[in-house]
């Protein structure tokens, strides 16, 4: 007999790709020897049975029946009259209590939700067993047996509340203590915004569980690997504080989702939702006659669920095996929406005369040049051989004088750099489409950016017996997105875009085995993984990304590593033009696989419900480094601004003129775009005791240990800077080109008498033979450097303590609270960011080099064979890298006012410790900052590596991730949950809170932000966190309009009745906004973020801006008074840091209504078949709700609104149910 693996199973196993025999053996033993199931997605019922006098009754038979499948489980009360029913799937239940001498007591219609711990007590009446006393269970109940802070979104809410984009993330925000920064429509997992924070903690510290398995994209800013269709989810629970010890690896919100299951009857549904910009309101910042941005969205799919049966041959009662299948497509077309200043094509030949007639005249000047042998090496000079390389005799053309203005603002043709000319001819910048004047225009338009998603979900549940069952799911999701500009970069011109392919997979296998009525064994195997492929493409006038004809590329790169696709280098123009052409790091690839095995045992012993278990997980990621092997040039105005002070009301110098001349300010190149093999292994063990001390008091006592060694690169191909390994005796020496001395040869290494100490070579074959400065650099496995670059911390023990006290014993009023320590698994971005470090890779950044040959210095014209540049380091601080931890606590009261109304009032707080940030440790004396930042008039910025007081000469910035920051949160949370009638479901919550976190922002998700002032550290940034909202009030409701619903005529009921209205109303304070300086003083030369001084009173006038012509700015509004701020005074020896606090201002608040109107047509009342027609509106009243403000003091629009939430959007939809 031949066994054939079904195709879907084969695909699943292929997706897992577990090649290590050790993992297979562990998995085999667990699967065969221990029937298993993880219970994070299931629920528990506890209760006590008493007689009419209140005395407990032992040996009562408790039968719990799952209505959807008909499966029944039997339990018996112990000597204390207590029973516990664990590991129950979500759904509707009937519970029956039977004992000799008593009437049968039955509770019907109990709804169990994901993660519930629900109390259901019985008081039995004396009488015959043939008599039954039946009551309906309350739909809304107090939480009388747990101190956790949590919230549930049930299937009805997910189906009938207007959620913008049908987004899981917007559902996650529907909880007290949740602060959402989602600005509007969310389309896919990758393009979507996962910005929801709970109780002041960072977004990256959330975790999503799907059927008990992890669904996180680690390194993806706290987002999901797969965001399943809302039509495939049965329930969604947010655990926000004081949750039990079986949850871990997250210190913020834990979101548990349960997929729908089949039932004993066949059900199916299909749907389609459509958006079209023709029905949308106009954006505030796109007034008529501008066209509304194109938007086409189609979401359609179907699902089917029911029993797998072959009549009498198999599963005749339809309770043994059931299935559920869901398939959905999401298709989006969005306008590229580029609106960018670009050079006028008439200027490509060098005629910039139009700049002189601009409202602010803009003359351009010939750089100060020097003849060979006379250059002194200062950055204020340009070697004549570079400036006039293509002019006769390499001599200045007629009329060109050193430092003088270009006659008529026209650059002679022989001075146009051939590479600049070739790139312009190829079309790296689009031609302007409007506002063409004064040598500049605006390009408006760009290619559409389509997104296509196809998702399949299958889940099968099988019951071998009442004691042994199994279920599993498999999800396959394929996302393909196109971007009109290059994503994750500064690219702002639509001549280069990219496609983003992101196939994702999720697999779960769960079984349950009840060893005895009081002992349950559970084990789980979970998998999720995804692949990212980013491929660039030429667009909008550019025919190829390859270097064009006429481009001089013989010496156009420093290294010989591969330049995939022979790509054009990045070209960034700063200043008024601001156009940036960036192919970025693409093509780029990433692959992640996450495997988890866990074993849990539940034991009921008297009044104690014990649970203990352990887990092991490994996260494996293969990811390309970020960096440009094709190189990248940045151009600013400095070299064409002249040496004298610029006259008043005049702008001297121009970045596009510098580009035409081939005079970049800086050049960056990655030697090799290698890829790393990163692994993260974690272990955990816990014990939890839910102890019912008496009928009023329950204690939740737990202890969890998390063993989370740091992420490591499997081949030890990492480098990190360690101050303990740096030898001051080997401090680097520099030549006159500001490169590290490689020899004593004055021809190639001017100013050096010998090679610098501290030089070595790379183990990477592509960099073989290239001298590198490695003083202080450590490699895993050498000189005591740990595998993960930092020491691991193993003492992560987290107690979990909770209580629930029933004040009167009637289940009406409960006092609840708890305390817990939650540890955070570091996401891995700290290691991925360190990938390009020396010695295995090399990211070079040079100042003032030639465009055709970056090895040549503009200021001298001479070159080394290959310069040894001072490297910048992004690494980890070995001496302060404890696991981030959150100390959480809460206390509150729940009261049931009626059978279907519960009010909760709670205080929730936390103290977060060891939060991570970046800090530069290679700091010069602060007296050097003005020269370093170019803040001394007439003097260009000094190269970083030449500052004589650097602690570690040979390096520029050394930014080390450091778990040093502290944060805290305090909040009042009020929650009202009510079913006021059969027609109205109402949920309202209010949060009054303050969150303080100094370095939120960073690389997404709140982690790895760089401290603003590296001299002061995170203390300079103490203030409201970036997601702090003082007030948040949310109401969601579903109202079945009773009009004609009960009319005797089926036709009347179906055609005229059947109306429903639902909605979400959100009213919230604005987010904090951080005012910064911008310009050279904004970073103070050390990569900081300087703030101004507060010299006035902060106020928010919100007045229209008056300017000429009015048509250019009548849509501009001044939000806050920009005159209240001043720049710190700069001298030749001082550039201080501003005194304004971090996040000192508050952004605009929000008042948003999302509402839906449904009409249901009944097709068959007996079968429950119906058709729903839906009109959904987002921002129903079309209030303009601003959310973006220009906070940079150096900007012309400082203090003005820059963006708003979406205007009113309409969505039409239809769903049919069978």
Asked if residue 493 has pLDDT above 60, the reply is: yes
Residue 869 lies in a domain: no
DSSP-based three-state secondary structure for 318: coil
Q: What is the pLDDT of residues 932-987, one digit of tens each?
A: 887 887 676 777 877 778 999 999 899 999 898 999 999 999 999 998 777 888 99
Instruction: Name the CA dihedral angle for 224, 227, 233, 236, rounded to a multiple of 10 degrees.
Output: 40
Give me the CATH number covering residue 103.
2.60.40.1120
Contact 1194, 1077 (CB under 8 A): yes
Q: Which residues contact 712 (CB under 8 A, 6 or more apart)?
A: 678, 679, 680, 718, 780, 787, 788, 789, 831
Among residues 535, 509, 507, the alpha carbon closest in space to that of 225 is found at 507
Q: How confident is the model at residue 490, as a pLDDT?
A: 84
* Strand pairing category for 955-979 and 871-876: parallel
- Does residue 577 sit in the same domain as residue 479? yes
Residue 1031 lies in a domain: no
- Does residue 486 sit in the same domain as residue 586? yes
Contact 460, 261 (CB under 8 A): no
Residue 519 lies in a domain: yes
Instruction: Name the CA dihedral angle for 183, 186, 189, 193, rounded to a multiple of 10 degrees.
Output: 0
Give me the CATH number covering residue 180.
2.170.130.10
Cα(788)–Cα(1140) distance, rounded to whole angstroms? 38
Asked if residue 1106 has pLDDT above 60, the reply is: yes
Q: How confident is the model at residue 35, as a pLDDT?
A: 33
Cα(871)–Cα(875) distance, rounded to whole angstroms? 12
Cα(164)–Cα(1063) distance, rounded to whole angstroms? 11
- Does residue 204 sit in the same domain as residue 228? yes
- Does residue 159 sit in the same domain as residue 131? no
- Does residue 111 sit in the same domain as residue 157? no
Among residues 53, 111, 46, 105, the alpha carbon closest in space to that of 77 is found at 46
Contact 916, 830 (CB under 8 A): yes
- Does residue 479 sit in the same domain as residue 587? yes
Among residues 642, 673, 667, 640, the alpha carbon closest in space to that of 654 is found at 640
**What is the count of structural domains for the chain?**
3
Among residues 760, 793, 749, 820, the alpha carbon closest in space to that of 252 is found at 820
Q: How confident is the model at residue 135, as a pLDDT?
A: 67
Q: What is the pLDDT of residues 848-861, one digit of tens each?
A: 888 988 888 787 77
pLDDT averaged over the chain?
A: 86
Instruction: Determine which helix (DSSP H) or strand (DSSP E) holds 932, and give its type and residue range.
Output: helix 929-932
Asked if residue 14 has pLDDT above 90, the reply is: no
Cα(234)–Cα(473) distance, rounded to whole angstroms? 14
Q: In which band, very low, low, confident or very high, does the pLDDT at 678 lie, cut at 50, 70 and 90?
A: very high
Instruction: Determine which helix (DSSP H) or strand (DSSP E) holds 437, and give its type and residue range.
Output: strand 434-437
Expressed as residue numbers, the domain containing 281 is 274-338+447-593
Q: What is the pLDDT of residues 118-177, one digit of tens each?
A: 888 888 888 777 677 766 666 677 888 899 999 988 888 888 888 887 788 888 889 999
- Does residue 321 sit in the same domain as residue 452? yes
Q: In which band, very low, low, confident or very high, does the pLDDT at 19 lie, cut at 50, 70 and 90?
A: very low
Task: Report the greatest alpha carbon distance in the chain.
Answer: 118
Q: How confident is the model at residue 922, as a pLDDT?
A: 95
By mean pLDDT, which of 285-289, 475-479, 507-511, 1001-1005 is the weakest?
1001-1005
Q: How confident is the model at residue 1111, as a pLDDT?
A: 47
Asked if residue 1122 has pLDDT above 90, the reply is: yes
Neighbours of 463 (CB within 10 A): 18
Q: What is the pLDDT of residues 981-1026, one digit of tens each?
A: 778 889 999 999 999 988 765 445 667 788 899 999 889 999 999 8
Among residues 1181, 1186, 1026, the alpha carbon closest in space to that of 1102 is found at 1186
Q: In which band, very low, low, confident or very high, does the pLDDT at 103 lie, cut at 50, 70 and 90?
A: confident
Q: What share of the chain is helix, strand, coil (3-state, %, to 5)?
A: 10, 40, 45
Asked if residue 712 has pLDDT above 90, the reply is: yes
Q: How confident is the model at residue 522, as a pLDDT?
A: 86
Mean pLDDT, residues 1193-1208 taken together:
88
Peptide bond into 587 cis (omega under 30): yes
Strand partners for 716? none
Within its chain, how far is the Cα of 392 from the centroid?
A: 56
Cα(719)–Cα(789) distance, rounded to whole angstroms? 8
Cα(414)–Cα(393) distance, rounded to whole angstroms? 11
Q: What is the pLDDT of residues 766-797, one digit of tens each?
A: 787 888 999 999 999 999 999 999 999 899 99
E strand residue ranges, 583-719: 588-605, 608-624, 632-635, 666-670, 675-692, 697-707, 712-713
By mean pLDDT, which of 1-10, 266-275, 1174-1183, 1194-1203 is the weakest?
1-10
DSSP 348-415: TTSB-GGGGGSSS----BPPEEE-TTT----TTEEEHHHHTTTSGGG-PPTT--TTPBPGGGB--GGG
Q: Which residues contact 770 (CB under 8 A, 6 or more apart)?
A: 559, 671, 761, 762, 842, 866
By mean pLDDT, which of 266-270, 490-494, 534-538, 1014-1018 is the weakest?
490-494
Residue 279 lies in a domain: yes
**Most confident of the following: 436-440, 471-475, 825-829:** 471-475
Q: List C-alpha distances in Å: 121 to 74, 77, 287.
A: 16, 11, 62
Q: List C-alpha distances in Å: 813 to 595, 599, 808, 1018.
A: 43, 36, 7, 44
Among residues 275, 963, 365, 1032, the alpha carbon closest in space to that of 644 is found at 365
Neighbours of 1161 (CB within 10 A): 15
Q: How far apart are the two ends of the chain, measured CA to CA in Å?
A: 40
Asked if residue 55 has pLDDT above 90, the reply is: no
Q: How confident is the model at residue 191, as a pLDDT?
A: 42
Provide, rounded to the nearest whole percent, the portion of the chain with pLDDT above 90: 50
Mean pLDDT, residues 482-494 taken together:
87
Contact 252, 206 (CB under 8 A): yes
Mean pLDDT, residues 670-691 taken together:
92
Within its chain, how far is the Cα of 482 from the centroid?
A: 19
For the whole prediction, is pTM greater than 0.75? yes
The encoded tokens of residue 848 equal: 């003032």
Among residues 232, 552, 327, the alpha carbon closest in space to that of 419 is found at 552
Cα(793)–Cα(772) distance, rounded to whole angstroms? 33
Q: How confident is the model at residue 1113, as a pLDDT?
A: 54
Angle made by CA atoms 498, 499, 503, in degrees to the nearest 5: 150
Q: What is the pLDDT of residues 571-590, one digit of tens each?
A: 999 876 789 999 999 999 99
DSSP-based three-state secondary structure for 27: helix
Among residues 1170, 1169, 1155, the alpha carbon closest in space to that of 1060 is found at 1155
Q: What is the pLDDT of residues 379-410, one digit of tens each?
A: 678 989 889 999 999 999 999 999 999 999 99
Peptide bond into 1109 cis (omega under 30): yes
Residue 727 lies in a domain: no
- Does residue 333 sit in the same domain as residue 476? yes
Q: How confident is the model at residue 41, as a pLDDT?
A: 66
Q: How confident is the model at residue 210, as a pLDDT?
A: 94
Cα(718)–Cα(677) distance, rounded to whole angstroms? 10
Asked if residue 248 has pLDDT above 80, the reply is: yes
Residue 663 lies in a domain: no
* Strand pairing category for 381-383 and 368-370: parallel
SS3 string, 693-719, reads CCCCEEEEEEEEEEECCCCEECCCCCC
DSSP-based three-state secondary structure for 1215: strand
- Does residue 126 sit in the same domain as residue 156? no
Q: In which band, very low, low, confident or very high, does the pLDDT at 866 lie, cut at 50, 70 and 90?
A: low
Q: How confident is the model at residue 290, as a pLDDT?
A: 74
DSSP 835-850: TT-TTT--EEEEESB-
Instruction: Determine which helix (DSSP H) or strand (DSSP E) holds 13, and give its type and residue range.
Output: helix 7-16
Contact 1205, 1179 (CB under 8 A): yes
Q: How confident is the model at residue 1109, as a pLDDT?
A: 53
Asked if residue 654 has pLDDT above 50, the reply is: yes
Cα(65)–Cα(1113) distance, rounded to whole angstroms? 67
Q: What is the pLDDT of residues 829-847, one digit of tens each?
A: 899 989 889 999 888 878 7
Cα(135)–Cα(8) distance, rounded to whole angstroms? 45
Among residues 309, 325, 284, the alpha carbon closest in space to that of 474 is found at 325
Contact 436, 675 (CB under 8 A): no
- Does residue 495 sit in the same domain as residue 530? yes
- Does residue 165 sit in the same domain as residue 219? yes
- Does residue 66 sit in the same domain as residue 102? yes
Residue 33 lies in a domain: no
* Strand pairing category for 519-538 and 666-670: unpaired
Cα(106)–Cα(133) distance, rounded to whole angstroms? 6
Q: Is 435 left (phi over 0), alpha (psi -120 to 50) or beta?
A: left
Instruction: Determine which helix (DSSP H) or strand (DSSP E) holds 168, and give its type and residue range.
Output: helix 168-172
E strand residue ranges, 99-232: 104-112, 117-119, 122-123, 132-136, 149-153, 178-180, 196-198, 207-210, 213-214
Q: How confident is the model at residue 381, as a pLDDT?
A: 82
Residue 687 lies in a domain: no
């Amino acid at each position: 007999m031949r066994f054939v693996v079904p195709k879907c199973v084969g695909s699943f196993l292929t997706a897992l790709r577990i090649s290590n025999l050790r993992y297979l053996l562990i998995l085999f033993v667990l699967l065969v020897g221990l029937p298993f199931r993880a219970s994070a997605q299931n629920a528990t019922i506890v209760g006590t049975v008493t007689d009419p006098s209140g005395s407990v009754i032992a040996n009562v038979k408790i039968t719990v029946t799952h209505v959807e499948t008909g499966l029944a489980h039997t339990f018996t009360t112990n000597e204390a009259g207590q029973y516990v029913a664990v590991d129950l799937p979500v759904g509707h239940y009937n519970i029956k209590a039977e004992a000799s001498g008593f009437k049968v007591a039955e509770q019907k219609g109990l709804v169990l939700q994901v993660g519930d711990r629900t109390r259901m007590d019985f008081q039995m009446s004396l009488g015959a067993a043939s008599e039954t006393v039946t009551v309906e269970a309350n739909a809304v109940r107090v939480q009388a047996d747990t101190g956790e802070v949590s919230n549930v979104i049930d299937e009805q809410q997910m189906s009938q509340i207007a959620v913008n984009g049908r987004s899981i993330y917007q559902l996650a925000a529907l909880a007290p203590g949740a602060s959402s920064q989602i600005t509007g429509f969310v389309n896919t997992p990758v393009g979507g915004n996962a910005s929801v924070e709970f109780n002041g903690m960072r977004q990256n510290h959330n975790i999503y569980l799907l059927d008990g398995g992890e669904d996180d994209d680690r390194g993806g800013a706290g987002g999901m690997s797969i965001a399943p269709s809302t039509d495939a989810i049965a329930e969604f629970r947010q655990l926000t504080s004081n949750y039990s010890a079986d949850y871990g690896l997250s210190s913020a919100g834990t979101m548990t989702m349960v997929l729908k299951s089949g039932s004993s009857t066949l059900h199916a549904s299909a749907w389609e939702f459509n958006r079209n910009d023709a029905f949308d309101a106009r954006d505030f910042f796109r007034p008529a006659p501008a066209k509304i941005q194109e938007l086409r969205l189609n979401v359609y799919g179907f699902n089917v669920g029911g029993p797998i049966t072959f009549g009498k041959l198999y599963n005749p009662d339809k309770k043994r095996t059931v299935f559920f299948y869901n398939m959905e497509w999401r298709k989006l077309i969005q306008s590229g929406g580029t609106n960018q200043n670009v050079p006028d094509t008439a200027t490509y030949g060098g005629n910039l005369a139009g700049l002189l007639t601009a409202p602010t005249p803009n003359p351009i000047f010939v750089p100060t040049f020097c003849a060979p042998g006379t250059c002194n090496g200062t950055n204020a000079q340009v070697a004549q051989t570079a400036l006039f390389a293509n002019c006769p005799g390499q001599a200045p053309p007629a009329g060109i004088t050193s430092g003088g203005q270009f006659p008529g603002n026209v650059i002679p043709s022989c001075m146009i750099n051939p590479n600049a000319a070739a790139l312009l001819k190829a079309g790296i910048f689009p031609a302007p489409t409007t506002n063409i004047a004064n040598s500049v225009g605006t390009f408006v338009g760009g290619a559409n950016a389509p997104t296509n998603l196809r998702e399949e979900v299958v889940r099968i549940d099988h019951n071998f017996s009442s004691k042994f069952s199994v279920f599993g799911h498999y999800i396959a999701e394929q996302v393909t997105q196109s971007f009109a500009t290059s994503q994750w970069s500064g690219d702002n011109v639509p001549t280069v875009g990219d496609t983003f392919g992101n196939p994702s997979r999720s697999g779960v296998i769960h079984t349950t085995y009840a060893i005895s009525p009081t002992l349950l064994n559970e084990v789980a195997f979970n998998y999720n993984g995804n692949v990212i492929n980013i491929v660039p493409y030429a667009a909008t006038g550019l025919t190829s990304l390859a270097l064009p004809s006429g481009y001089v590329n013989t010496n156009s790169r420093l290294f010989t590593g591969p330049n995939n696709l022979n790509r054009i280098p990045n070209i960034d123009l700063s200043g008024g033009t601001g156009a940036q052409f960036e192919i970025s790091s693409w093509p780029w690839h990433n692959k992640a696989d996450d495997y988890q095995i866990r074993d849990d045992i539940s034991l009921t012993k008297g009044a104690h419900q014990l649970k203990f278990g352990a887990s092991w997980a490994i996260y494996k990621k293969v990811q390309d480094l970020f960096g440009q092997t094709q190189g990248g040039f940045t151009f600013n105005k400095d070299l064409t601004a002249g040496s004298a002070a610029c006259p008043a009301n005049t702008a001297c110098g121009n970045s596009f003129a510098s580009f035409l001349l081939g005079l970049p300010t800086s050049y960056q190149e990655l030697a090799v775009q290698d890829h790393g093999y990163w692994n993260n292994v974690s272990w955990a063990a816990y014990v939890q005791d839910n102890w019912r001390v008496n009928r009023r008091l329950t204690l939740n006592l737990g202890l969890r240990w998390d063993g989370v060694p740091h992420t490591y690169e499997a081949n030890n191909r990492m480098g990190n800077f360690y101050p303990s390994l740096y030898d001051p005796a080997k401090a680097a020496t520099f030549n006159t080109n500001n490169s590290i001395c490689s020899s004593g040869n004055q021809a190639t290494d001017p100013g050096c008498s010998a090679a610098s100490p501290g030089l070595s070579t790379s183990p990477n074959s592509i960099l073989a033979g290239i001298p590198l400065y490695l003083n202080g650099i450590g490699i895993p496995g050498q000189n005591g450097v740990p595998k993960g670059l930092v020491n691991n911390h193993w003492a992560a023990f987290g107690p979990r303590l909770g209580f629930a006290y029933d004040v009167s014993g009637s289940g009406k009023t409960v006092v609840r609270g708890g305390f817990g320590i939650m540890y955070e698994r570091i996401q891995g971005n700290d290691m991925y960011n360190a990938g390009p470090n020396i010695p295995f890779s090399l990211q070079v950044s040079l100042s003032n080099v030639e465009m055709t040959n970056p090895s040549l210095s503009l200021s001298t014209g001479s070159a080394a064979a290959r310069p040894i540049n001072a490297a910048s380091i992004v690494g980890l601080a070995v001496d302060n890298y404890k696991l981030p931890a959150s100390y959480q606590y809460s206390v509150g009261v729940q009261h049931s006012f009626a059978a279907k109304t519960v009010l909760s009032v709670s205080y929730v707080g936390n103290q977060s410790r060891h939060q991570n940030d970046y800090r530069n440790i290679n700091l010069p004396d602060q007296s050097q900052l003005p020269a370093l930042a170019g803040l001394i008039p007439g003097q260009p910025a000094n190269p970083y590596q030449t500052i004589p007081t650097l602690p570690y000469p040979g390096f520029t910035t050394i930014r080390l991730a450091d778990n040093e920051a502290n944060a805290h949160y305090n909040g009042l949370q009020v929650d009202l949950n009510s079913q006021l009638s059969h027609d109205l479901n109402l949920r309202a919550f209010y949060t009054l809170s303050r969150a303080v976190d100094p370095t939120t922002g960073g690389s997404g998700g709140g982690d790895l932000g760089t401290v603003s002032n590296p001299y002061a550290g995170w203390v300079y940034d103490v203030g409201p966190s970036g997601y702090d909202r003082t007030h948040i009030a949310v109401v969601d409701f579903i109202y079945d309009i009773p009009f004609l619903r009960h009319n005797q005529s089926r036709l009347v009921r179906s055609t005229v009745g059947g109306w429903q209205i639902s909605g979400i109303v959100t009213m919230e304070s604005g987010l904090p906004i951080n005012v910064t300086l911008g310009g050279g003083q904004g970073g103070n030369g050390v990569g900081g973020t300087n703030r101004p001084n507060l010299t006035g009173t902060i106020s928010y006038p919100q007045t229209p801006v008056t300017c000429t012509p009015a048509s250019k700015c009548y849509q501009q509004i001044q939000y806050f008074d920009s005159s209240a701020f001043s720049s710190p005074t700069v001298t030749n020896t001082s550039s201080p840091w501003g005194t304004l606090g971090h996040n000192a201002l508050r952004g605009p608040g929000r008042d948003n209504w999302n509402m839906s109107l449904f009409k249901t047509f009944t097709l068959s009342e007996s079968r429950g078949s119906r058709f729903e027609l839906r009109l959904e509106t987002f921002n129903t009243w079309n209030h303009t709700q601003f959310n973006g403000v220009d906070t940079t003091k150096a900007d012309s629009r400082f203090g003005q609104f820059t963006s708003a939430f979406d205007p009113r959007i309409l969505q039409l939809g239809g769903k049919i149910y069978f």
